[in-house]
Structure 1
Amino acid sequence: MTTDETGATAHGVLRLPDRILFGDGSFSAVAVEASRLGSNVLLVCDPFLLDSPELDGILKELASLNVDVTVEARVVPELPREHVEELIAAHRNSGADAVVAVGGGSAIDLAKLIALGLSTIGALDTWYGENAIPSPVLPVVAVPTTAGTGSEVTGVAVLTDPDRDLKVGISSPYLVPCVAIVDPLLTIGAPPSVTAASGADALVHAVEAYTAAVRPADWSAQLPVFVGRNLLSSPLALEAIRLIVPNLARAVRDGNDLDARRAMAQGSLLAGMAFGSAGTHLSHAIQYPVGALTHTPHGLGTGLLLPYVLDAVLPTCVPQLAHISEALGLRESNSEAAARAAIDAIAGVFEEIGLPSDLRSIGVTDADVPRIVELSLTVKRLVANSSDTPTPELIGRIVRAALDGDRARPVSEETNDQNRIHA
C-alpha cells in the first residue's frame, strides 16, 4: 500500500458541502443561499436566538425574497430520539423544501435529522449506523455559532436513544449539508464553558483524523463514511491543529479576542472537513458510554480522554505525532521525543482551559470500567479507525489510566511489541 511522507495512503476522500463560506459577516449570505435551495424553509435554531437581531435579519431578508419560513427553536441537548421524532411529525405536512440550521452542534444535528425524517418513511433507528440512508435528504444550510463540532461540513448526526446505553450516530454522505456558512463573529457570544468544551472537541477531531488508521480503499464497493487517514484529510487536520492549539485558551480567557475567535472558527471548520472523511477514533468511542453515564458535555469527555488515548497508541503513530510537534514549533532530539512532546502540549491546552483531567472527577467509578470498555468496543465505525488493534485490553488500559489521571501508567513489553507489529 503506497503512502505519502505523512504516512497517509496515497489516495484521498473528501465529502464536503457544495459551498463553504467563511469570514466575518458571511452570515449575511444565509437568506440568499437558502432561497437558492427552496421557497419554503424550515429554520432550526437554538432558543436563545429567537429574539436576536441576527435571526430577525434572516427572517426579513427571506421574506423579501418571497421565501416562506417556519421557525423551530425546540433544540435540546443530547437530542433524545423521541423528541426528534416528535418534531419530524410536527413538520411532516409543512411543505418545507429546505432546512436552515443556526446554532451549536445540537441545532445542526437536529436540522439534519429533520431533513432526513421529512425525506424518508420510517423510524430514526432505521438509519442508525453507516450508509443506511437510501437517497438524498432535504438540502440543509448549516450556520454554526460555536467553534467545535464541525457538523456544518460532516455527514454525521448524533442523538440519544433511551433503548441504548450510549449515543448513536447516523452517518451518510447524504447528511452533508449543501451549504456551510462559518462566520467567526457569531461565536463571540459563546460563554467560556461552551468555548472550552466545543474547542476541545475541535482539537480532538483534528488530532484523531491525523492519527487515524491507514485503511485501503476498495473503489469497487461502497466506501465507509470514515475511510481513515488519507492524502486529502491530513493537511486539513494538521492545519487545524496548528490554528487551535495556540488560540483555544485565548478564546476561553477573552471571548472578545476576535483574532482567537477567527482562528478557532477556521480550525474547527478544517477539523470538520478532515474528520468528515478520515473519521475519529478511540477518544470518541470511549466518550459515548462515558457521556451517557455522566451526562457531561461531549467535548469535555473527548478532550479529557485524548491524552490517554494518544499515550496508549503512541507506538503506532509516532511519525504523525512528531509532525504535530513540528507544526506546533516544538523542537526535540528524535521522533519519539517529539511525539511525546506533542501529547504533552495537547494535554497542556486542555489543562489551561480547565477541563477535568480524570474520569473520577466527573463521576466514573471502578465498577463502571468493564461496562465502558464493553460499550466502547461496540462503536465499530470508530474503534475500527484506531491505529492500534482495539482490543479489550487496550481500551481497558486507556479507561483505567483516565480513571486515575495516571498518564505515567506503564505499558507492558508485550503490548509494546504488539504495537510495533501493527505500526
Structure 2
Amino acid sequence: MAFEFFVKSDITFGRDSVKELSKVVKGCKAKKVMLVYDAGVKFAGIADTVLENLKTADVDIVIFDKVIPNPTNEIVEEAAEIAKRENVDAFVAVGGGSSIDLAKAIDVLMTNPGPIGRYGGIGMVENELLPLIAIPTTAGTSSEITNVSALIDTEKVLKYVVIDNKLVPSKVIIDPEFTKTMPASVTASTGMDAITHAVESYISNMATPLTEFHSLQGLKIIYSNLPAAVKDGSNMEAREQMMLGCVITGFGFSNANLGLVHGIAHTLSAHFQLAHGMANATVLPYVMAFNAESCPEKMVELAKAIDLPVTGNIDTDKYLLSDELLKLTKELGIKTLSEQGIREEDFEMLAEDVLHEPVLGFNPRQNITKEDILGILKKAY
C-alpha cells in the first residue's frame, strides 16, 4: 500500500542556537523582517535576546507584538496590512503556537489575496510564501515544523485550520533555554498538548508506518520528561528532551492528522478562549477511553510504549492508557471544565458544534453522535 510522508523542516537545535539567527536571516537575503511575538515573550526577556541577535543581521526590523492566544482573522488581517505597508520580505516568529501560527497566516496574505478565511482546509494556498524563521518557546504545538495554522473565525465562532505544505517554516531555531521561563502550568498544558498529538496521530485512520514510528517515539520522550520539566523548570535536560519529543511528534501528526480530542478542544477555544493545550488535556483521557473499542491493539501498543503493566487481557489493557492519562492530568494540575468556567448548560451547544469539526473524519471511531460528545464533556466536567 502506497502512502506519503512529507518533511520539509530545516532545524538548528540546541542550547544557545539563537546565536545562529543572524546567519540564517542573511541566508534568506531579507532586507526588512517582521518580528512576531506576544507580551509573555517580551516579559520573559526572550524578545530582547532575539532582537539583539537579529540586529546583527543588518536588516530593518518591524515589530508586531500584539499576538493573542488563539489568533483571530482580525489580528491576521491587521498584522498583514502592516507587513505589506512596510514592504516586509521575511518573518521571524518567536513564541508558542499562537505566535508561529499567526506568522504563518500573515505570510499567506503576503503572496496570496485575502481574506485569510478563504484558505481554511487542506491545500488551498496557491502561491509560495516569504521566508519564515520559527523560534519556539514552548514544547507543545510543534507549529514550528508543521504545515498548519490554527485560527479563530470570530464571526462564525469556530476554530479552523489552514493546512498546506507551503506553510512549513523555512528555518527553525530550537533553543531549549527559551523554555526555562515557562510557568509550570504552561509547561504542563503544552506538554499535554504534545502527548495529545502523539496518541491521536498514532490511532488516526490516516496513520502510516512512518507516522506511527514518530508518534510512538515522541510519546516515549515526552511522557518520560514532562513531570520533571513541570516540577523543576530549570531542569535543562528535561527541557531539551521535551523540545526534541515535540519535534519528533510533529513529524508524525502533521502527516497523520488528529481526531476527536482536537475537535472538542477547537470548539472550547472558539467559544470560551480556552488555551489550546489545556482544552486538549482536559478531555484527552475520556476521548481515549471512548476510542478504545475501535482500536484496542493500538491502545495496548501505546501503553507498552510508556511501560504500563500490560496483562495480556486486551479487554482491560486497552484502557491502561486512558487511565494513566487521567492520573497524569491530575498530577500536573490540569483543570476540569468546571474549573475553567464552562457550564453544563453550554454542553448542548458545544456538542452540536463539535459534530461539524473536520478532524472527526480522522478519528478511529466513526459515527460519533451528539450523545457521545455530551458523555465525554460530562466526564471532563
TM-score, L = length of structure 1: 0.84
Q: Which residue number corresponds to residue 355 of structure 1?
A: 334
Q: Which residue number corresponds to residue 224 of structure 1?
A: none
Name the SS of the counterpart of 1:316 in structure 2: coil
Q: Which residue number corresponds to residue 102 of structure 1?
A: 94
Q: Which residue number corresponds to residue 385 of structure 1?
A: 362
Closer, same or farther: CA 339–14 of 1 in aligned 2, 3 Å = farther
Give yes or no for contact 1:330–1:338 (8 Å, CA) kept in 2. Answer: no
C-alpha displacement of 1:398 = 3.8
Closer, same or farther: CA 339–29 of 1 in aligned 2, 3 Å = farther
Q: Which residue number corresponds to residue 171 of structure 2?
A: 179
> How far apart, CA to CA, are the structure 1 residues paired with 2:322 and 2:44?
40
C-alpha displacement of 1:53 = 6.1
Extract structure 1 runs of 4+ deviating beyond 6 A.
none
Unaligned runs of 5+ in 1: 3-9, 214-227, 407-423
Closer, same or farther: CA 355–64 of 1 in aligned 2, 3 Å = closer
Q: Which residue number corresponds to residue 277 of structure 1?
A: 255
Letter in 2 for 1:37: C
Name the SS of the counterpart of 1:91 in structure 2: helix
C-alpha displacement of 1:370 = 2.8
Deviates more, 1:186-195 or 1:363-372: 363-372
Give yes or no for contact 2:283–2:376 (8 Å, CA) kept in 1. Answer: no
Give yes or no for contact 1:11–1:232 (8 Å, CA) kept in 2. Answer: no
C-alpha displacement of 1:54 = 5.0
Give yes or no for contact 1:322–1:336 (8 Å, CA) kept in 2. Answer: no
> How far apart, CA to CA, are the structure 2 residues paired with 1:50 and 1:391?
43
Q: Which residue number corresponds to residue 118 of structure 1?
A: 110
Q: Which residue number corresponds to residue 5 of structure 1?
A: none
Give yes or no for contact 2:22–2:56 (8 Å, CA) kept in 1. Answer: no
> How far apart, CA to CA, are the structure 2 residues paired with 1:130 and 1:117?
16
1:399 to 364, 374, 377: 374
C-alpha displacement of 1:241 = 0.8
> How far apart, CA to CA, are the structure 1 residues paired with 2:41 and 2:278?
24
Q: Which residue number corresponds to residue 153 of structure 1?
A: 145
Q: Which residue number corresponds to residue 294 of structure 1?
A: 272
Letter in 2 for 1:337: T
Q: Which residue number corresponds to residue 91 of structure 1?
A: 83
Deviates more, 1:274-283 or 1:248-257: 248-257
Q: Which has the higher helix share?
A: 2
CA RMSD of aligned residues (A): 2.0
Q: Which residue number corresponds to residue 32 of structure 1?
A: 23
Q: Which residue number corresponds to residue 304 of structure 1?
A: 282
Unaligned runs of 5+ in 2: none
1:316 aligned onto 2:294: yes
C-alpha displacement of 1:253 = 1.6
C-alpha displacement of 1:161 = 1.6
Closer, same or farther: CA 57–296 of 1 in aligned 2, 3 Å = closer
TM-score, L = length of structure 2: 0.93
C-alpha displacement of 1:114 = 1.2
C-alpha displacement of 1:69 = 2.1
> How far apart, CA to CA, are the structure 1 residues paired with 2:234 and 2:43?
21
> How far apart, CA to CA, are the structure 2 residues paired with 1:274 and 1:261?
20
Letter in 1 for 2:84: R
2:136 to 134, 144, 148: 144
